[in-house]
Chain A
């Protein structure tokens, strides 16, 4: 993987994880003590992200640092016997929603970001 390709993956994952966490660019900037354009540039792949920043972002977004740093793949194994769930409404889910939900469930395992 080239440097630019990795940078693009990191940028895309920061954006994806930020949105899934429910944060705006301005809110993330405030959490990291940065100006808002800095976060916008990170997500655009136009600014390098330090390890310290990535670590803070991973904590804020509740994703693993390695995934946010571009490691691993986006494909997830949605069926995991070691994950215990309680769901009263699963059987009522529409097929598309079920697929989305299973991806979200898979995201809680290590080495992966948000679904």
Chain B
């Protein structure tokens, strides 16, 4: 990393800390980026556009909006939301015609604004203290963690497996390039296979008693592995099977369900949205009757 990119990374990290401070978020746990956007007055809207990740806009009235593709995996949407929030925090922006003029031009150019927003997103979602705590509370170390352990911590922060590896490597410097390459040899598909004992195409969230947030967010179809003995109330999440590593559930309808685990007295709310939900983020977990459209 060059001196100038290191300086940008430092700016991004400091700003992420300031945002957590200003909006009363703890520094050692995961963060609901959509709730943060709402508090900051930034409207988040999911749209079903396949060839985009996200977009930040600010109108002449100062109204700020983030548009995210609903067609990306949930962890990717979370990261994109934090990235676009970075543009908001750093007051980035071009006019529509300037951006349209860029369509079709080369993409492999280092853009400080994008690097800043990306690094901000990494530190906002995965703060240094939070990452340390996520590994340490489970008795793991980032430098020697197995792919399943890294995947579990990625679930903890609501980010993708590869996103956490990149953050550990580049931003936190908690692993070296060799370890990062070893971890990347095993993909999320392999990890799901290893954990569940069978090839599974659906996304899997692993939540344990060290889960740092009051909620577990999913969309219909997502699998949820909970600690042994966990009980889910209501009909939003359906039990699938007992596994050596816990109880497997599936999100089957939009809404909110309470999850309790009697042993370590752990409880959390599982929030489920429609599959590839289109609309405003604040409505994504509303209950929905079966024949309601």
Could you list which residues of chain A lie within 8 angstroms of chain B, going by C-beta atoms?
A: 19-27, 36, 62, 78-94, 97-98, 100-102, 104-105, 108-110
User: Which one, B53, B58, B61, B67, contacts A110 given CB within 8 A?
Assistant: B61
Instruction: Please determine whether B283 and A97 come into contact, CB atoms closer than 8 angstroms.
Output: no
A84 proximity list for chain B (CB < 8 A): 57-58, 93-95
- The answer to whether the Cβ of B293 comes within 8 Å of any Cβ in the partner chain is yes
Instruction: Please determine whether A89 and B47 come into contact, CB atoms closer than 8 angstroms.
Output: no
User: Which one, A19, A25, A89, contacts B52 given CB within 8 A?
Assistant: A89
- The answer to whether the Cβ of B1 comes within 8 Å of any Cβ in the partner chain is no
Q: Could you name 29 residue pairs across A and B whose Cβ atoms are closer than 8 Å?
A: A19-B279, A22-B274, A22-B279, A26-B288, A27-B283, A36-B292, A79-B96, A80-B96, A82-B95, A84-B58, A85-B93, A85-B94, A86-B87, A88-B83, A89-B54, A91-B102, A91-B107, A92-B52, A93-B51, A97-B50, A97-B51, A97-B52, A101-B52, A102-B96, A104-B45, A104-B47, A104-B49, A105-B67, A108-B65
Distance in angstroms between the alpha carbons of A21 and B278 in the assembled complex: 7
A78 proximity list for chain B (CB < 8 A): 96
Expressed in whole angstroms, the minimum distance between the Cβ of B253 and any Cβ of chain A is 12
Distance in angstroms between the alpha carbons of A21 and B97 in the assembled complex: 26
Max chain A C-beta neighbours (<10 A), residue from B59, B105, B288, B293: B59
Instruction: Please determine whether A79 and B111 come into contact, CB atoms closer than 8 angstroms.
Output: no
Distance in angstroms between the alpha carbons of A98 and B102 in the assembled complex: 12
- The answer to whether the Cβ of B63 comes within 8 Å of any Cβ in the partner chain is yes
Given contacts A26-B292, A90-B100, contact A101 B95 (CB under 8 A): no
Closest to A94 in B: B51
Could you list which residues of chain B lie within 8 angstroms of chain A, going by C-beta atoms?
A: 43, 45-47, 49-61, 63, 65, 67, 83-84, 87, 92-97, 99-100, 102-105, 107, 111, 113-114, 117, 274, 277-280, 283-284, 286-289, 292-293
Sample of 4 further A-B pairs with CB below 8 A, known A85-B56, A102-B100: A62-B43, A81-B97, A82-B95, A85-B95
B60 proximity list for chain A (CB < 8 A): 82-83, 109
User: Which one, B87, B93, B102, B288, contacts A27 given CB within 8 A?
Assistant: B288
Distance in angstroms between the alpha carbons of A14 and B92 in the assembled complex: 33
Expressed in whole angstroms, the minimum distance between the Cβ of A104 and any Cβ of chain B is 6
Instruction: Please determine whether B56 and A87 come into contact, CB atoms closer than 8 angstroms.
Output: yes
A97 proximity list for chain B (CB < 8 A): 49-52
Expressed in whole angstroms, the minimum distance between the Cβ of B272 and any Cβ of chain A is 14
Distance in angstroms between the alpha carbons of A110 and B102 in the assembled complex: 26
User: Which one, A22, A81, A89, contacts B278 given CB within 8 A?
Assistant: A22
Distance in angstroms between the alpha carbons of A86 and B54 in the assembled complex: 9
Distance in angstroms between the alpha carbons of A110 and B61 in the assembled complex: 9
